[in-house]
Structure 1
Amino acid sequence: MPRKKLKRLAADTHRDVPAGQYPNNVWALDFQFDSTWHGKTIKICNIIDEYTREHLAFTVDKNINAVSVTELLDVACLEHGGRPRVIRMDNGPEFIAHALQEWAAEGETIQAFIPPGQPWHNGFVESFHNRMRDELLEDNSIENLEHARLLVAQWSSRYNNFHPHSSLGYLSPRKYAEQWKQENTVNT
Structure 2
Amino acid sequence: MKYGWIAGEQRFFFLMCIIDVFDRTIISYHIGLTCEAKDLVQITQEALMKRQLFSQEAKPITRSDNGPQFISHRFEEACAEFKMTHERIPPKTPNKNAHIEAFHAILKQECYQRNEFETYPQAYEIVSEFIQEYNQNRIHGSIYDLSPYEYRAALKAGSVKPIEVKV
Following the alignment from structure 2 to structure 1, what is the Cα–Cα distance between the partners of residues 72 and 130?
30
Residue correspondences, number: 154
Hey, what's the Cα distance between the residues in 2 that align with 1:70 and 1:172?
Answer: 27
Cα separation, 2, equivalents of 1:109 and 1:151 = 32
Alpha-carbon distance in structure 1 between the residues aligned to 2:75 and 2:87: 12
- State the match for 2:119 in structure 1: 144
Report what 1:35 is aligned to: 5
For residue 109 of structure 1, report the CA deviation from its aligned partner.
0.9
User: 1:132-165, CA deviations, whole angstroms, 9 ceiling, x for partnerless residues?
Assistant: 0000001101122211111111111111111111
Report the secondary structure of 1:139's partner residue.
coil
TM-score scaled by structure 1?
Answer: 0.77
CA deviation map 1:12-34 (0-9, x unaligned): xxxxxxxxxxxxxxxxxxx0012
Contact 1:163 1:171 in 2 (8 A): yes
Superposition deviation, residue 94 in structure 1: 0.6
- 2:164 aligns to what? none
TM-score by length of structure 2 reads: 0.87
Answer whether contact 1:91 1:116 (CA < 8 A) is retained.
Answer: yes
Rounded Cα–Cα distance in structure 2 between residues aligned with 1:81 and 1:153: 22
Cα separation, partners in 2 of 1:100 and 1:182, compared to 1, 3 Å: farther
Tell me the percent identity. Answer: 25
| Residue correspondence of structure 1 range 69-108 to structure 2 within 5 A | 69-82=40-53, 84-108=59-83
Unaligned runs of 5+ in 2: 159-167
Shift of 1:106: 1.4
